[in-house]
Amino acid sequence: MRGDGAATPPRPPFRETAAVALVVVALIGGLTWLTMTLEVALLLGTFAASSLLVFGFPDAPLSQPRSVLLGHLIGSACGLGAAHFLPFWWGPAVAVGAAVALMKVARAVHPPACSNPLILCALPSASWTFLFCPTLTGAGLIVLGALCYHNLRRDVRWPKYWF
């Protein structure tokens, strides 16, 4: 209960923090603008947390394209399955549990995507096209943005691995 006594992580440089904040503003702003302009859903609330991981902690396994893309796909698929086939009070719980298990089995753990089942269980009228738009399209644009940003700004290559 006392904790390990480890020191808090070092504060990142201000320039790095500002650059990450600006690219996230541009990415989420772009997704919002495209959603409004094209009248096609390209935005999920979980993309905010995905952006934090992908741009703020790019070297973490949770931030690699495999985890971002497959994690969101798995989370949304579990949510759609529960919304369509388990319309009971326990459906959302089963969907989140299934998403966690499947992400671990697929070696594509992406914590923000564990919220996708709850979102989809709250939208029981969502169709299976949700897997493509917004799920894969939005997650793909996050990965594309990270690919450009990290490889233009950093000396370290991103991603560490693809699939």
* pLDDT (tens digit per residue) in 9-18: 899 999 999 9
CA–CA distance, 101 with 121 (Å, rounded to integer):
18
Q: In sequence order, which residues have a C-beta less than 8 Å from that of residue 42 and are 6 or more positions away?
A: 31, 34, 35, 133, 134, 137, 138, 141
In a domain, 6, yes or no: no
Please state which of the ranges 23-27, 41-45, 68-72 shows the lowest mean pLDDT: 41-45
In a domain, 1, yes or no: no
pLDDT tens-digit readout, 60-82: 999 999 999 999 999 999 999 99
CA–CA distance, 95 with 72 (Å, rounded to integer):
13
In a domain, 22, yes or no: yes
- The pTM of the full predicted model, rounded to 2 decimals, is 0.93
In a domain, 131, yes or no: yes
Nearest Cα to Cα of residue 71 among 29, 42, 101, 40: 101
Domain count, the chain: 1
